[in-house]
Structures are given as structure tokens and as C-alpha cells.
Structure 1
């Protein structure tokens, strides 16, 4: 219509000069205007590699990276990603890749990747992993989930801080700050506290930058009751070390018996937090009542043959723990010292030094030390050393039990100086390391401690017989016996709710199991996925060396700039022709 009217107007003009050119210019102008209004496309061929591969989108992927994978099938198992990238095919699980798309022989994984269970479904399919940058925050975390009352909670982790900002990691319980540490660069951190309550509790681990909260994570703990240990102190004479130890043990709920030599075959005895028993003659039956015996070297060497034999039998056959305090008068040929040769530096006097205790990151306050140290012997463990890394306390196995040999006889000086923390750490370490172990008929170990909602909780049970009575949240797992370890049983249940899940019919220290929410520990999970997917990709590398070629016909839109230029040229000619023809 527009073309007809324009041509008619040109024909009716009085001047017939350049009529054909004017009609052509009008036709070009109208055609260009129509092409601007209606997009035009053309078909072209593009040669691409026929690799039978696909793309799998996971959380954290960058949409721009998909430009490299035109005409490649795109999958995802995430509904939010499907909404963000509608052309992706939503899978219920990764098994559908092999089942519904058998021609696909390799995957490009974009984003944070997959976890261990998802990787198992791929069954060795070649993979090329294109990871997202590691997120800022806590990248790994660990803590002792199950404690006994009075034990120290240790929270250890690693923080990823690529921008080197200032962050504060805070441990909170019942809305009270229990410990905190400043983080300025990527690295490890550690927090400590001693829980005051028992049962199932949930602390919070919070990461803050100024007033902004980066993370607020759950830290579940099971605090079990402590069966009071029974300790026997054998002293060759009254001294401050035994007096302070007796007071500390009794104040912390231990059942304490003390036998102090007054003269040959004459003793004074004392019982605290426990009924009085006869300690004049130590027999195997008497020693069976105790978990730990603490004695100075002289007192132990002065035991008569019957008492010494009974003590050795209880240690080597029944698992009784023995702590020996060395002294300058004792001999070095006793059965309990055979693994702990002592070196005495002649011509030196006492010197002051801090101690490094096993499992502690900070040294203790200084003590006056005798010029004596224990020579390391294979099969022993150093529990404390001085600033020159000389062994002062060492532990070793003695049959079914353990023996600790210590060169320290003045730890009470810590208490006199008001340093109860070091004193407690020292004696808790020794007693905890050496105490008689209580036999456990059945114990449970949780393998995936960050299990979330609607995920399988994988557990192992140590049991001499099939653990049919073990339940998790009221459900009996189907346990399978290990071929290599007959008393190891593996099983699992699917979590149907978050929070604490009751564990029934076990006698170990596993306690109940905590199921996390979907949004808990996302940074840790994503960093773990990156690690797991990287490892899988290295073992199952996607590497096409003889891929075929395939030509794809594609439609391309013709750029409208050309039509604008034609319209401009045609209109310019018509304007110029009309102006100059009038002249």
C-alpha cells in the first residue's frame, strides 16, 4: 500500500526527469522500512566437533561460561538452576543421564560440582570439571561431637579469605560468647570451651565482618555423663604433690584412695568420695576396684613381692592404668620403667621452662625442672616436653594396660601460682590417657556427620553379633557385615526430619545423631564438592582425541544497520533530486 501510494505520487509529478530512478529509490526506501519492522534471517552452516558430550550445571556456575557449549545438551538436578536457565533439562538424579541419553559419553561439570554419593552414580563416566571460585567463609570444619562432662570442646577449621578482609569467628552457646578468634587471611583457626550442661545441645558458630553476618551455623554436641574414675595414690611419704593431687581429684568428682607409708609395713589411708577399703595389703582383688594407680617411684619399688606381682598382673592383663612419678632415689630396673630410660645431666641444677602438652597448642606456664629427661624408645609416646624439646613425660603400652612415666614432681606450683588451667590440663591428660578402658559391647560411628534433610545417614557399628536391635529415629537400618573385619557392620537410614535423631540400643559414646537443614554449612559443603569433583575428574579425565565433525544449519538475523543505511540513501536521493530538479 505504502509502495503504491509513493509510486503514484512520483508518477503524478509534473517533472518526468529521472522518473525510473525515483521509482527505484521509493521502492528501496519502502523495502528497507519493511525490513526494519520485520526481522530477516538467513541460514548458514557451522562445523562443530561431534564429541557425544553434555553439560551438567551445579550450584555456583557462571551463565557466561555456557557460551562455549552451543548445541550441547545441558542438564541439571537443581530446580532453582532450571528456573534460571530454562533450556536445561531437569533430571531427578544423575542415573537418568546414562539411562535416557545413552549416546552421551562425557560430561562438562560447571559450578561447585557433586558430592561423594552423586559421584558414585556416574560410575566412571569421563568428566571435565570447570569449578566456580571457592566461596569466602569456613571451607572445612571439625569438632568432637561426643564429649564426657568436663571435657574440652575443640572446634578446628579452615577459613577461606581471598580478599584478605577482617572477619571474626565466634563460638556461642545459649547466646553467650564462649570463644572467638580474628581471621585476617586464609588459614586455620581453633576455638575451645568446656560445656557446662549435659545431654544434647546445639552451639552456634558465627562469622562476622563488622556488623554483617557471613555465616551462622549449627554446632551440635552430645555431652554424656562421666562415670567417676577410681584413683589410688601410693605415696612413700607425705608431700605437697600428692596433697594437691588428692584435693583436685576429689573436687572434680573422682573417687580417691590414698595410702601413705609411715614406716615399714605401716600406712595411713584415706578415702574421699568413696567408702573406706582395706589397703594394707594390695591384692589383685583390691586393685580391681581402681581405674588408675598414681605412685612415686620409691613407693612402687618398696611394694612387697605379692603386691608388686598383683599390680603388674592388673596392669598387663586387666588394663589398669599406672602413672609413675620418678625420683632421684629410685632404681632403674623396675618392670614399669623398662620402656622409659632416664638421662640425668650431671653438673646442672634446676632450670625454669614452659611445657608443651600433647594436644595443646599453647605452652604452659613455666615450672622449675630437674636436669632429667626421658630418652625416647620406640613404641612410646611423648606427652610433654620442655622448650628444648626434651621428653619429660612419656607413655607406653604394658600388655593390656598403659604406663605413664613422669619426671615432674612439683606441678602443685601451678596451683600455688593460681594457674589451675595448666594443672587441670596436665592431670586430665595423664589420667585420660592411662585410665582402664571400659569394654563396649556395641558402638556406633556416624560416617557423614554433616548429613542433611532427606539424605542418607551412613553409620558403622562395631559389634560381635548382627546389630538387629540398633535403631536410628525409630528405624532399623539394614546392616551388612564387612568381609575384611567381621565385627564391623555398615548401614544407613534416610533422614525424614531435621534436628536430633534418637539412637537406640548402643553402648558406645556416639549419642544421638543430628540432621542439619538444607542451608546449614553450605560453604563447607560447596568446598567439599569442589575437592571431590576435582579428584574424580583427575581419575576419569574427559579427553576426546578422535572426535568427528558435524555441520549444524543455524539461522542468523541480518543486522538492521544495513536497512537503515539503504533507507537513508534512498531518502537522501529523493530529497536531492526533488530540490535540484526544481532549480
Structure 2
């Protein structure tokens, strides 16, 4: 059968075929008495045509033909009216779809050209536009906060730092960071109508789940807009840290001071010459630290070492360190030149790629220039990212048994303190310590894949747990479907559509103590931010090059009147034949 020929009612094929055979046998039986006569073959041929016509009327044969319908214009929020008018004038018969009305998108694969106007298509609908000829025309930009960066999870004693960018501010208006009671904690005044980067902060004093607010007010104090900032504040955690140092550096000097001032218990073992060491103790009693063994290392949450100190460990100390990482969850943080990271034996777990440039701005610290080595961590299975600069991974770790081995390619971070950027320095090292140090004993760890959760919109989460076949339920006790990672049996992803605003929680059915708290916003919150992110995502998606425009073929049914005609002619022939 030709690949261009198909049947619309393929599910009827076998019943129709059986009926075709039965009817044909009936006709043969009826005419068999005239076998051998010269008109026998004519009557059989007419019978076959009549029965086949009936079968084809039932099956509805169709031919696959290339179809190109007209142009399509999709209107989204914040579109420009002049763009709409111009396109309607240029394409008189263009089909207009109003995406704002939550209409289901029609079949678009047969369209010659698609125009998307305004904010753009929601991320969850973009898959419908893959490999299609789409022109995206961005709409009007909304006034308000379009960039936002802050830690959703923080610790007591740290400062909540909120950074962002405000578009089209009005002269004299204020942007205020308020606590849950409406008390102003920090604010800025817009002294011009130019787009402005802002930074607001306040100290976190008590643990708990809190809702701060970013409020825009006019010069008279009237509220023009307010958006919620959910923050989970955890109790301050004191780490016990061991540092192995083979040579003095400014990086280590400033790091020791930072760790000590943060209240961590710190023991430093400095190598003077072969076999001779100098010990330093901060926030802890002086202890006699000889050779490293598993019993000694069990008391520490994190070991920070340069590559030279690791290479100088004896075979028994190396074995004890390996076992402590695998079995008790000790964290190991490697300091040193990038070209020495692969010279530490079994601790050489990172692959590097050489890149140009020795300065960068990491993603969560915009406008802070930091020195780095001319390398990046190669993205590979098992590598967890901590610091990124665009697509480059600058800091990360790998899970080794129960523990973690991490490193960073940032260097000379101590210069941030000399430049008065203590907050940036604190943020970088706090993130490194938190991610690599020994984990508290928990059966599950949760991670949100969305910055914000909105009512009735998809919220994606990631769950890492040793619980076999975990069952996650929401606040309404509904079961959340989970998908297991193909390469990691303890990694699961899920998606839920929260129906209520405010603080919500998810929990594992098999372990009620493992709870994930998240905050759900109204769909109308953070309009400028949502609009900007959707527009940027549409720009990225629709700029993807279509390598080859594939022709779209659709089955076009053959007109059934042809088969009715053949049937009538055949039956008429059978009726007339005896009379001739």
C-alpha cells in the first residue's frame, strides 16, 4: 500500500474486511449456477466493484497531502496595538487567536507563518511551537521590578539582602522593604525616572517562616504596589572545621578570620617544614591533633585543605579521610590551583575546561567583579552547581558516599573585603560551607525548581531521599505524582498545581517528619517580573534556528460520492444484465 494512502476509520478495517468477504461469497454462490457462461465474469466483476465500494464508503480512504493553511496571529498580554494593526493590514485574511482568554491553542503545524505579539507564550505551552515558523514581537514593558535576587532560605544572624532592577520608576516614589507587620526595614527613593538597580537589606534575628514585602509608595506615602517576599529563616548552625595548610596564603588568612568571627569551631594545622606543624584554635579548646584517623575526623563537619597538604598525607591518613567521607558524611573542600586538582589521587573527582578571562560576575551577585582562574568545571553527571556565571560552572561539588567533595575556581576572594564588599564575601563562602559540609541526618532533602509558586500554575520540585518508592502528599492530602531519575534511584521530580495562596507544605507519606514548606502567590503578583521573564524565555525559544522546514502532510478524505457512484453503476449493471 502506498505511504500516501490511508484510511480514516482504520479501527473498522477487520470488521469491514470480514463483511466484504461474506458479501462476496454470497454473490459468488448466487451466480455459481451460471459458471462457464460468457457473462459470468462480467457479473462477478460488477459484484466485486459493488461490495468494494461499500467497504470503501465505510473505511473512508484518504490521501496524505501537504497542507499549508494561512497565517496565524496570537495576541498575548501587553501587546502593542500598532503592531496588531500593521499585521492585520499586511495580511488581510490572517487568523487571530486571543491567548489572553485562556483558549486552547488550535493545531498550528499547518500554518505558513505564526506571529506572537505581547508578553509571549507561557513556558508550559512553548513545546507546541517547536520547529514552527514563528516571529515573536515583544510587547510593552511594564513598570516595576523586572529582576530580583535574594535567598529564599537564610539563617539567624545573616542579613536578608534583596537586589533587583526597577523599570520606569516615578520621581519621588519610594521602594520599601517591610516586615510582616508593615514596619519599614530599609528603603530607597527614586531620584530620577531612569531604570534603577536597587539593594535593600535587614538583619534576620529569629528563625521561622516569614513574609517580607517590597512596597512601592508615592511621595505622600500612598501604597502603589506590594509584592510578597517569603523567607525561611533557620537556626544558626555552628560547624566544626579542620583546615590543613601546606603554605600561607592571603585567601586562607582572611577565610580563617571570617570563619572564626562567624562563630564556627576552627582548628588549623599549618605545615612549617617536613614533619613539623603549627596549630591554631578558634572558638574551641586546644587539643592534641596527631595523625588523622577516622575517630578524629568524626568530630568534624568539614575539612578544608589545599592540594599540597592532601598529597602530604600518609596512606593511613588518606584511607581514614576516604572512609570518613564515604561513611560518616564528612565534607572535603579543595583549595588550590586548577591544574593541581587532578593530582590528589582518589580525591581528583573534577574535570576542567580551559576558558578565557580571569574576571567574572557570578549569577547571584550581579555587579560584583570577582577574580577567577581561566578554567570552568566541566558539566557532567553527578556534579552539583554552587556558583555559576552564565553557563560556566565556577563552584560545585560531587556526592561521594554519604559525604561531598567540593571546590571553587574563584580566587583572591579576600580582595572583596579590602574593597568594602564584605557582604559579597560572606555570601560566597556561606554558600560554599552550607553546600559542602556534613549533612544532618535526614531521610529526604527538597529543592524547588521554580523561584516562585503561583496559584493554579505548575510548581516543580525535586526530592532526594533514601525512602523506597516515596509517596508525597500536599496540604489537602492529594498524592503528587513523582518521576524517578534514570541514573539516580534516590532522585525524584514532581509537579503540583497549588489551589490556595499562602504557606503550603508537602510531606512524605512514609516519613511525616520530612516536610517541605513553600509559599504560593496570587497569579496577579509580581506582574512586571513575570512579564519580563516570559518575554525573555520567548525571545530565547523563538530565536532557535529551524534547520529545515518540514512539510506537514495531513490525510484528505477522498469524496465518498465516487464510491456511491461506482456502487450504483455496479448494482445497475447487475440489474440490467438479465434483461439484455
Q: Name the TM tier (shorter chain).
A: 0.5 to 0.7
Which among 209, 217, 229 is matched to residue 219 of structure 1?
A: 229
Cα deviations across residues 4-33 of structure 1 (Å, max 9, x unaligned)? xxxxxxxxxxxxxxxxxxxxxxxxxxxxxx
Mapped contact 1:234–1:260 kept (Cα < 8 A):
yes
Report the counterpart of residue 194 of structure 2 in structure 1.
185
Report the counterpart of residue 140 of structure 2 in structure 1.
133
Which among 513, 520, 526 is matched to residue 518 of structure 2?
A: 513
Mapped contact 1:55–1:72 kept (Cα < 8 A):
yes
Which among 229, 235, 250 is matched to residue 239 of structure 2?
A: 229
Q: CA deviation at 1:300?
A: 10
Q: Secondary structure at the match of 2:454?
A: coil
The verdict on how the C-alpha distance between 1:120 and 1:202 changes in structure 2, with shifts beyond 3 A counting, is same
Q: CA deviation at 1:526?
A: 1.7
Q: Secondary structure at the match of 1:528?
A: helix
Q: CA deviation at 1:467?
A: 2.8
Report the counterpart of residue 492 of structure 1 in structure 2.
495
Counterparts of 1:363 and 1:104 in 2: how far apart (Å)? 47
Report the counterpart of residue 459 of structure 1 in structure 2.
461
Q: Secondary structure at the match of 2:209?
A: strand
Counterparts of 1:251 and 1:508 in 2: how far apart (Å)? 33
Counterparts of 2:98 and 2:310 in 1: how far apart (Å)? 70
Q: What TM-score do you get using the length of structure 1 for normalisation?
A: 0.53
Counterparts of 2:408 and 2:179 in 1: how far apart (Å)? 36
Q: What TM-score do you get using the length of structure 2 for normalisation?
A: 0.54
The verdict on how the C-alpha distance between 1:110 and 1:320 changes in structure 2, with shifts beyond 3 A counting, is closer
Which among 519, 522, 526 is matched to residue 527 of structure 2?
A: 522
Which among 166, 169, 172 is matched to residue 178 of structure 2?
A: 172
2:479 is the counterpart of 1:480: no
Cα deviations across residues 410-452 of structure 1 (Å, max 9, x unaligned)? x9xx99xx99979967975775576345576533332333332
Q: CA deviation at 1:534?
A: 4.0
Q: Secondary structure at the match of 1:513?
A: strand
Report the counterpart of residue 20 of structure 1 in structure 2.
none
The verdict on how the C-alpha distance between 1:496 and 1:245 changes in structure 2, with shifts beyond 3 A counting, is closer
The verdict on how the C-alpha distance between 1:121 and 1:509 changes in structure 2, with shifts beyond 3 A counting, is farther
Superposition pairs for residues 371-450 of structure 1, below 5 Å?
401=405, 428=430, 431-432=433-434, 435-436=437-438, 441-450=443-452
Mapped contact 1:323–1:405 kept (Cα < 8 A):
no
Q: CA deviation at 1:242?
A: 12
Mapped contact 1:126–1:540 kept (Cα < 8 A):
no
Mapped contact 2:175–2:216 kept (Cα < 8 A):
yes
Q: How many residues end up aligned between the 2 structures?
A: 437
The verdict on how the C-alpha distance between 1:299 and 1:335 changes in structure 2, with shifts beyond 3 A counting, is closer
2:78 is the counterpart of 1:60: yes
Moved more, 152-161 or 289-298: 289-298
Asked which structure has the greater CA Rg, the reply is 1
Mapped contact 1:158–1:187 kept (Cα < 8 A):
yes
Counterparts of 1:406 and 1:116 in 2: how far apart (Å)? 33
Q: CA deviation at 1:307?
A: 6.5
Counterparts of 2:134 and 2:215 in 1: how far apart (Å)? 36
Counterparts of 1:434 and 1:252 in 2: how far apart (Å)? 17
Give me the CA root mean square deviation.
Answer: 6.3
Q: CA deviation at 1:230?
A: 1.9
The verdict on how the C-alpha distance between 1:278 and 1:493 changes in structure 2, with shifts beyond 3 A counting, is same
The verdict on how the C-alpha distance between 1:307 and 1:125 changes in structure 2, with shifts beyond 3 A counting, is closer
Q: Secondary structure at the match of 1:285?
A: helix
Counterparts of 1:395 and 1:233 in 2: how far apart (Å)? 19
Counterparts of 1:72 and 1:397 in 2: how far apart (Å)? 54
Counterparts of 1:485 and 1:459 in 2: how far apart (Å)? 16
2:141 is the counterpart of 1:119: no
Cα deviations across residues 89-135 of structure 1 (Å, max 9, x unaligned)? xx6x443634xx99977654443232112334566665444432212
The verdict on how the C-alpha distance between 1:307 and 1:406 changes in structure 2, with shifts beyond 3 A counting, is farther
Mapped contact 2:78–2:119 kept (Cα < 8 A):
yes
Report the counterpart of residue 291 of structure 1 in structure 2.
301
Mapped contact 1:253–1:273 kept (Cα < 8 A):
no
Counterparts of 1:297 and 1:484 in 2: how far apart (Å)? 30
